[in-house]
Amino acid sequence: MCCKKDNCSPSSCSCRGGKIERFIEPCLLLLLKKNQPSHGYELLDNLNAFGLNNDPGSVYRTLRRLENEQMVKSSWDTEGTGPAKRLYELSPEGEKLLADWITNFKNTRKNLDKFIKEYQDLEG
Amino acid sequence: MCCKKDNCSPSSCSCRGGKIERFIEPCLLLLLKKNQPSHGYELLDNLNAFGLNNDPGSVYRTLRRLENEQMVKSSWDTEGTGPAKRLYELSPEGEKLLADWITNFKNTRKNLDKFIKEYQDLEG
DNA sequence: TTAATATATATGCATAATGCATATATAGGA
DNA sequence: TCCTATATATGCATTATGCATATATATTAA
């Protein structure tokens, strides 16, 4: 479900519905857990799989915030071709944070199931 | 999972994780579908079942916005005891909006399942 | 050689959502 | 008369989001 800019008002557009707050955070954490170390530009590509926009700004800002909160740590990779990459890896706190997200997601899924079921019971 | 104000920073607190954006909107729509007409104060009570905060401000503001968007319509009930109630009912557009939320929720649930599974596959 | 493109990181800005506090008014009960 | 419950509403600070833009490096095509 996608958003044509014209007929999409932020208040009623169904394309906005169902999104999970700050979803980019657990996605980045999981991607790092799967493949460490990694850098922003690479992570950006892999975020597509989670249905997130291709927004470099959000990725880099979130990674910097997570580092500020000691959930990840970074180092510069000046080797290889092209501009330098900032390599990220998970900290133990970051692992814990991801685990908390999973716990919350299981709960969210339960609530979604309940919500959908209540609706379907009405519709018959 | 809940929020003790002291140790809860908005950026890392796990109690914030897993919430669905603008979730109050479909909750109000579903509550109205189940019981029409209804008013803000009554809806406020019933929102507890969906795990939402007891925040009158959010409820009244959301209802006014939904009316502005023609998703619900209201009328004053000056009968009975106490202050007047603003009674809300769903419009056809509101019914449609709720149906769209449900569609999106089914998709969200699928994505959540996938995310959780990917995590668990890593953990073994 | 120069121009365009891909890679890589970063900031700025406007809008919207959220949580919390507060204001206002009506009616019933102690 | 004062407190409480009912009922609606606004104000404010912080945060999230999407989009645009800036900057720099290296490769490729003209």
Nearest of B62, B94, B72, B108 to residue A115 by alpha carbon: B108
Q: Phi and psi dihedrals of B36, rounded to 5?
A: -120, 145
CA closest to C20 C1', residue = B55
A104 chain-B contacts, CB cut-off 8 A = 1, 14-15, 17-18
| C-alpha dihedral sign at A122, B45, B49, B108 | positive
pLDDT at A7 over 90: no
Q: Phi and psi dihedrals of A10, rounded to 5?
A: -60, -20
Q: What 3 state SS string does chain A have?
A: CCCCCCCCCCCCCHHHCCCECCCHHHHHHHHHHHCCCEEHHHHHHHHHHHCCCCCHHHHHHHHHHHHHCCCEEEEEECCCCCCCEEEEEECHHHHHHHHHHHHHHHHHHHHHHHHHHHHHHHHC
B82–chain A nearest CA distance, Å: 32
B67 vs B62: CA distance, rounded Å: 9
A100–chain B nearest CA distance, Å: 6
pLDDT digits (tens, 9 = 90+) for A17-64: 889 999 999 999 999 999 999 999 999 999 989 989 899 999 999 999
Q: Which of B69, B102, B107 sits opposite A12 (nearest CB)?
A: B69
A46 chain-B contacts, CB cut-off 8 A = none
Please report, in tens digits, the pLDDT of each residue of chain B (124 residues total): 334 444 444 444 545 688 999 999 999 999 999 999 999 999 999 998 998 989 999 999 999 999 999 999 999 999 989 999 999 999 999 999 999 999 999 999 999 999 999 999 998 7
User: By the 8 A CB rule, do A69 and A42 touch?
Assistant: no
pLDDT at A114 over 70: yes
What nucleotide is nearest A53 when CA is compared to C1'?
A: D18
Chain B residue set in contact with A, beta carbons under 8 Å: 1, 9, 11-12, 14-22, 26-27, 30, 33-34, 50-51, 65, 69, 71, 97-98, 100-109, 111-113, 115-116, 118-119, 122
Q: Which of A18, A104, A108 sits opposite B107 (nearest CB)?
A: A18
